[in-house]
Amino acid sequence: SLFQRHAVVVRDLETVVAPGQARAAAYKVAVLGAAGGIGQPLSLLIKMSPLVSDLNLYDIANVKGVVADLSHCNTPAKVCTFTGADELAAALKGVDVVVIPAGVPRKPGMTRDDLFNINAGIVRSLVEAVADNCPNAMITIISNPVNSTVPIAAEVLKAKGVYDPSKLFGVTTLDVVRANTFVAEKKNLRLIDVDVPVIGGHAGITILPLLSKTRPTVEFTPEEVEELTVRIQNAGTEVVEAKAGAGSATLSMAYAAARFAESCMRALDGDPDVYECAYVQSEVTELPFFATRVKLGKKGLEAVVSGDLAGLTEYEQKALEALKPELKASIEKGISFANKQP
């Protein structure tokens, strides 16, 4: 079923190691920001995927060593190194899936929006290069604030005349991964079985786990709903504080982004049953961008699972209304940044 799919994807990620597997490696992936805290473990996980033929790793520094290191793993993907703006175009030529974790992470006391000034410009310039070199690629954006960087990317692609809304994704998979983990722990369920849709955006109260739609069906007390919702919304901050200045989530993020990239490739490969939550251009609410579950296919986003917004509990409905002004402001901030002269 649709809900077991996640489990299958996760299981696949756990087992995709052996070289010489039946499946032909076919897809070309670029990671932009590959030498960073997320970029390195993410590149390792992508290197383990049997669906990848070429893995282009790009960063402004320190990527050569990462590539030398990864290239010794005997999995099919061929890893290539690209350093600095002069090599960006070559890193993107012919690429099917672009993953963007470039940018600065949070430190204790910072919100994701505090990263805007630096990361907005980084995402703008990287997406310009994507538009010029692989306009048909699926573009998956990790760099925060995702609520704003995805609208920025959309504006850049529009200005270049190559915007395809079904190919642009803000990666919110980590919110789903966290929700699944926390619910399974709380309710003593097998981790692999649990699936919680998370909608809205990717910051604070804009992250809205729909606990009432958890599969398998689970009953929560109002106190549990409040506790779990708040924990899922603040889980990133939990990691930022534990790392005490050394950055934000990198390993769990790498895991989540690798799952999302793998889902993109499975969809491109013709798997008819690939579902993930993602922050995309959307009509399910009055906001132009919104995260919901989406069905992925050969052409990218094939359908939004809008049914998740029907039959919300009163708690979820209130939380949905409460998140809209913040999400709207973040979207508008991104759009206006993108349309200012650099």
Residue 265: name the closest of 71, 67, 16, 89 by CA.
16
In the list 61, 245, 314, 340, the residue contacting ligand NAI (rule: CB under 6 A) is 61
Q: Is 103 in the site for ligand NAI (CB under 6 A)?
A: yes
**Which CB atom, from 76 or from 103, has the smaller least distance to ligand NAI?**
103
Task: Identify whether the C-beta of residue 132 lies closer than 8 Å to the C-beta of residue 101.
Answer: no
Buried b or exposed e, range 272-294, using 16+ CB within 10 angstroms: eebbbbbbbbbebbebbbbbbbb
In the list 57, 70, 171, 210, the residue contacting ligand NAI (rule: CB under 6 A) is 171
Helix (H, G, I), strand (E, B) or coil at 168: strand
Say whether 202 is catalytic: yes
DSSP result, 214-278: -BS-----HHHHHHHHHHHHTHHHHHHHHHTTS-S--HHHHHHHHHHHHHHHHHHTT-S-EEEEE
Q: Which of residues 25-54 bind ligand NAI (CB under 6 A)?
A: 32-33, 35-39
In the list 56, 75, 83, 143, the residue contacting ligand NAI (rule: CB under 6 A) is 143
Please tell me the distance from the alpha carbon of residue 222 to that of residue 131, in angstroms, as a whole number. Answer: 47
Cβ 233 to ligand NAI shortest distance, Å: 12
The number of residues that bind ligand NAI (CB under 6 A) is: 32
Binding segment for ligand NAI (CB under 6 A), chosen from 66-74, 90-98, 224-232, 243-251, is 243-251
**Which CB atom, from 103 or from 334, has the smaller least distance to ligand NAI?**
103
**Which CB atom, from 70 or from 146, has the smaller least distance to ligand NAI?**
146
Helix (H, G, I), strand (E, B) or coil at 57: strand
Helix (H, G, I), strand (E, B) or coil at 300: strand
Distance of CA 232 to the CA centre of its chain: 16
* Of 106, 202, 293, 333, catalytic: 202
Task: Identify whether the C-beta of residue 146 lies closer than 8 Å to the C-beta of residue 334.
Answer: no
Q: Is 183 in the site for ligand NAI (CB under 6 A)?
A: no
Please tell me the distance from the alpha carbon of residue 181 to that of residue 196, in angstroms, as a whole number. Answer: 9
Among all residues, whose Cβ is closest to ligand NAI? 36
Q: Is 57 in the site for ligand NAI (CB under 6 A)?
A: no
Binding segment for ligand NAI (CB under 6 A), chosen from 46-54, 73-81, 142-150, 303-311, is 142-150
Chain positions contacting ligand NAI, by CB under 6 A: 32-33, 35-39, 59-61, 101-106, 115, 119, 122, 126, 142-144, 146, 171, 174, 202, 247-250, 253
Residues annotated as catalytic (active site), given as ranges: 202
